[in-house]
């Protein structure tokens, strides 16, 4: 397809199934971003003063608007990401609706002030409580693979907590980004409270340069490092979700039919363009041959095509360079001794970005397929002698986002899950915890830091503030000036009373300890 000149002031919305430009969306000027952040600050001050119950009620209106607009939203997701429509409904629309419903119902409860009891004798004359203040303006730099679910699962709790949001959605999905801003406007949220900015890396950099109060980033490790460095220079806290290399462990006692179906879906859903996709599968040797045969059989039945076709199981990859990368990863593995059992080729006859779902076996940890994030439709399998080897190999990765364990013995599955280095582990399922509103999402190592979703994600949107009230406001405190030898002896008696051993020790030092409470300060 011949390249066409695209004006710098717009972003093309491209159908990855055909490569055709669907529309042009206005690009945000990097110079305008500081003004957008300042307008968000003004809107946030009034929004934060609103009772949280009222803010959550507004989220119910947002949910109603999303539900009424679900067909338009799903059409946009399919058009710009290429995924099958059923995946747009389940993975994008459902997650967005459920997030709005969850925080509308539970936001006030999750952020209600908490009493802080004091265990020490010195603290008994005080009462403490913990309250949660909004961060202020949160900058979100989001991804294209779930162009509604990812940004909305962060924007919604941010506004529930009293923040304003400036969100840079992906330049691969600009129409989806525009629809997000429209949803909030049409639902009656204050002007400038939620603003979507459009553009590439230069706009993301300008957002950080504008110094919002926090940055939440979803994307690659390489870009995440740049984001972390830019934030660190300005002491802006950040949450980074940088992807994964998720392990799936299939034990000999697993239901192989179910596990193979889970492996195929977990590797190929959204054409494998999922941070939580199955990218390293470890199967016990005794069942490897049968399990691989099932995976190949199920993979060969999948239908490639445009996302708008109801018969389609797998849509295209997002861009041509991703197709080339799949071929490169497979070539490296085959050159090192791996075996492609099915698939493994681009499908230009279907469109510029289609790639066959692939099952490849005989891998080892030195291959790029076991080192780098794949982000494509490749089911990579390695045989292990037992669960212990599987655990060791699963943990041998710089990534630590999620994992799964497949076994009929639930207790054993939970035990293995507890030993895996990951932010989440599923037993006999994969990926779907992302759609559970209460479940936190995030990892460590090369997978980033911080959490989104659930209460843990909500607490990323606030500053915890401790408030202390003295119960004896008319009394000077024992530890105040003036110091002297008498106070030193009394302080030592208090330490022995508070932390010494046994009742006898406490009684022996009680009188001296009380001198810290009743003394003439002499000031």
pLDDT digits (tens, 9 = 90+) for 351-408: 999 999 999 999 998 999 999 999 999 999 999 999 999 999 999 999 999 999 999 9
| Residue 282 parent element (H or E) | strand 278-284
Mean pLDDT, range 294-317, rounded to an integer: 98
User: Residue 8's pLDDT is what?
Assistant: 62
Quote helix, strand, coil % in the chain, to nearest 5: 45, 20, 35
191-226: pLDDT as tens digits? 999 999 999 999 999 999 999 999 999 999 999 999
- Told to judge if 271 belongs to the known catalytic residues of this protein, a careful annotator would answer no
Which residue is associated with the tokens 């022996």?
508
The one catalytic residue in 56, 176, 231, 275 is: 275
| 8 φ/ψ angles, rounded to the nearest 5 degrees | -65, -25
3-state DSSP assignment of residue 426: strand
3-state DSSP assignment of residue 95: helix
| Six token digits for residue 391 | 């655990």
| Six token digits for residue 101 | 């419903």
Mean pLDDT, range 112-133, rounded to an integer: 92
The pLDDT-based confidence of 495 (bands split at 50, 70, 90) is confident
Please state, in angstroms and rounded to a whole number, the distance separating the CA atoms of residues 261 and 508: 71
Judged against a pLDDT cut of 70, whether residue 4 lies above it is answered with: no
The pLDDT-based confidence of 3 (bands split at 50, 70, 90) is very low
Please state, in angstroms and rounded to a whole number, the distance separating the CA atoms of residues 359 and 267: 10
What are the extents of the domains in the chain? 31-114+126-242+456-465, 246-435, 476-523
Q: For the beta carbon of residue 489, count every other beta carbon within 10 angstroms.
A: 13
Distances (CA, A) of 115 to 112, 129, 164, 399: 10, 4, 28, 38
Please state, in angstroms and rounded to a whole number, the distance separating the CA atoms of residues 475 and 494: 19
Task: Tell me the longest C-alpha to C-alpha distance in the chain.
Answer: 92
Residue whose C-alpha is closest to residue 349's, from 307, 327, 316, 378 = 316
452-493: pLDDT as tens digits? 999 999 999 999 999 999 998 988 888 889 898 888 888 888
Judged against a pLDDT cut of 70, whether residue 41 lies above it is answered with: yes
User: Residue 301's pLDDT is what?
Assistant: 98
Mean pLDDT, range 255-278, rounded to an integer: 98
- Told to judge if 241 belongs to the known catalytic residues of this protein, a careful annotator would answer yes
| Six token digits for residue 337 | 């001794």
Q: Provide CB contacts within 8 A for 404, sequence distance 6+.
A: 246, 247, 248, 249, 262, 266, 278, 425, 426, 427, 428, 429, 430
Q: For the beta carbon of residue 466, count every other beta carbon within 10 angstroms.
A: 10
Helices marked H in 2-148 — which ranges?
33-48, 52-68, 70-81, 85-87, 94-110
The pLDDT-based confidence of 522 (bands split at 50, 70, 90) is low
138 burial level (CB within 10 Å; 0-12, 13-18, 19+): buried
| Six token digits for residue 60 | 């119910």
Q: For the beta carbon of residue 250, count every other beta carbon within 10 angstroms.
A: 27
Judged against a pLDDT cut of 50, whether residue 122 lies above it is answered with: yes
Q: What is the DSSP letter of 331?
A: H
User: Residue 500's pLDDT is what?
Assistant: 86
Mean pLDDT (the chain, rounded): 95
Torsion of CA 339, 341, 342, 347, to 10 degrees: 10
140, 170 Cβ separation under 8 angstroms: no
User: Residue 379's pLDDT is what?
Assistant: 98
Domain spanning 246-435, CATH class: alpha beta
The pLDDT-based confidence of 16 (bands split at 50, 70, 90) is very high
How big is the chain, counted in residues?
A: 523
User: Residue 502's pLDDT is what?
Assistant: 84
CATH code: domain 31-114+126-242+456-465 is: 3.40.605.10
User: Residue 131's pLDDT is what?
Assistant: 98
Residue whose C-alpha is closest to residue 74's, from 97, 52, 106 = 97
176, 147 Cβ separation under 8 angstroms: yes
Mean pLDDT, range 295-309, rounded to an integer: 98
Q: Which of 135-139, 163-167, 327-331, 496-500 has the lowest mean pLDDT?
A: 496-500
Mean pLDDT, range 310-330, rounded to an integer: 98
Q: How does strand 21-26 pair with strand 10-14?
A: antiparallel
The one catalytic residue in 241, 279, 284, 288 is: 241
- Report the percent of the chain where pLDDT is more than 90: 87
Q: For the beta carbon of residue 288, count every other beta carbon within 10 angstroms.
A: 18
């Amino acid at each position: 397809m011949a390249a066409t000149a695209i004006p710098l002031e717009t972003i093309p919305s491209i159908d990855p199934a055909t490569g055709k430009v669907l529309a042009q969306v206005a690009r945000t000027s990097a110079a305008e971003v500081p003004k957008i952040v300042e307008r968000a600050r003004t809107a946030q001050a009034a929004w934060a003063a609103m009772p949280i119950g009222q803010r959550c009620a507004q989220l119910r209106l947002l949910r109603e608007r999303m539900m009424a607009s679900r067909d338009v939203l799903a059409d946009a997701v399919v058009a710009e990401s290429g995924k099958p429509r059923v995946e747009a409904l389940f993975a994008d629309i459902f997650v967005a609706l459920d997030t709005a419903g969850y925080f509308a119902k539970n936001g006030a409860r999750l952020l209600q002030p908490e009493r802080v009891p004091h265990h020490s004798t010195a603290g008994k004359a005080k009462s403490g409580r913990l309250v949660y203040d909004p961060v202020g303006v949160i900058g979100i730099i989001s991804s294209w693979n779930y162009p509604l679910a990812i940004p909305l699962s962060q924007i919604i709790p941010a506004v529930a907590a009293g923040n304003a949001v400036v969100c840079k959605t992906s330049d691969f999905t600009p129409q989806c980004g525009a629809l997000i801003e429209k949803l909030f406007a049409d639902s009656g949220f204050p002007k400038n409270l939620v603003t979507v900015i459009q553009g590439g890396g230069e706009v993301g950099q300008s957002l950080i340069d504008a110094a919002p109060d926090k940055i939440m980033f979803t994307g690659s490790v390489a870009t995440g490092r740049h984001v972390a460095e830019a934030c660190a220079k300005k002491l802006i806290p950040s949450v980074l979700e940088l992807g994964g290399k998720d392990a799936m462990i299939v034990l000999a006692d697993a239901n192989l039919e179910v596990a193979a179906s889970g492996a195929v879906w977990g590797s190929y859903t959204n054409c494998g363009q999922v941070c939580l996709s199955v990218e390293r599968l470890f199967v016990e040797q005794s069942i490897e041959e049968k399990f691989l045969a099932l995976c190949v059989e199920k993979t060969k039945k999948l239908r490639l095509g445009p996302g708008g076709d109801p018969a389609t199981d797998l849509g295209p990859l997002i861009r041509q360079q991703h197709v080339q990368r799949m071929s490169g990863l497979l070539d490296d593995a085959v050159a090192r001794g791996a075996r492609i059992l099915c698939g493994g080729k681009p499908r230009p006859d279907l469109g510029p970005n289609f790639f066959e779902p692939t099952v490849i076996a005989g891998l080892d940890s030195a291959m790029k397929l076991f080192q780098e994030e794949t982000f494509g439709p490749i089911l990579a399998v390695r045989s292990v002698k037992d669960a212990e080897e599987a655990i060791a190999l699963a943990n041998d990765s710089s990534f630590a986002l999620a994992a799964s364990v497949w076994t009929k013995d639930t207790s054993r599955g939970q035990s293995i899950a507890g030993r895996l280095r990951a932010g989440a582990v599923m037993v006999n399922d994969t990926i779907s915890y992302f759609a559970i509103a209460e479940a936190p999402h995030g990892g460590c190592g090369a997978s980033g830091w911080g959490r989104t979703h659930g209460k843990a994600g909500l607490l990323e949107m606030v500053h915890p503030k401790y408030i202390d009230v003295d119960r004896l406001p008319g009394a000077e405190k024992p530890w105040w000036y003036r110091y002297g030898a008498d106070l030193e002896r009394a302080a030592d008696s208090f330490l022995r009373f508070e932390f010494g051993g046994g009742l006898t020790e406490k009684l022996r030092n009680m009188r001296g300890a009380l001198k810290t409470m009743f003394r003439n300060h002499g000031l």
